Amino acid sequence: MKGMGFQYTKRGENRHLFREEKTMVNHRCAYLRQIREYRELGFDIVYTDETPRSDATDGISGEKAVLQYDWLTEDLVDLYHTEVPPVFRGRGVGKLLAKAALEHFTEKKIRMSPTCTFIQKYVNDNPSPSYSSLIVSDIPRPGL
């Protein structure tokens, strides 16, 4: 649990307590504020944990912006595709999907191989010490 950002505290005889570190709480609050801002613009933002895609819909046309990934090992994902339909372009939705995926896998201490050129550009344009150590390149892929 410590590796996931929790602090372990023993309270009394047989009581144990796990607390999130303050940095994780602050990070989550900032992320939720950003999601609220996008929803106020009319976007339905959906992140489905443990599935190989994260998407956003505009709530009107039903079109989806999508980020797709594959699990390569139990601690490594390939962020291989983003697709942003015209209704979303120029509004930062692709960046939101990229940021959400990077933050999600960073929080879980999952290594990431960004083979999608959009994700690669996002990582280069938005360097962060929180996820830079988890970015992996030159991953051998079976059959390639």
* pLDDT tens-digit readout, 106-126: 988 999 999 999 999 999 999
Axis crossing angle, helix 22-40 with helix 93-107, rounded to the nearest 10 = 160
pLDDT number for residue 87? 78
Residue 139 falls in which region: left (phi positive, over 0), alpha (psi -120 to 50) or beta? beta
Structure confidence at residue 97 (pLDDT)? 87
What angle, rounded to 10 degrees, do the helices at 93-107 and 117-125 form? 80
CATH of span 2-132 = 3.40.630.30
Q: Where are the domains of the chain?
A: 2-132
pTM reported for the whole predicted model? 0.59
DSSP code, position 135: B
Distances 63 to 7, 34, 43, 118 between C-alpha atoms, Å: 41, 21, 11, 19
Average pLDDT over residues 21-33: 70
Average pLDDT, the chain: 75
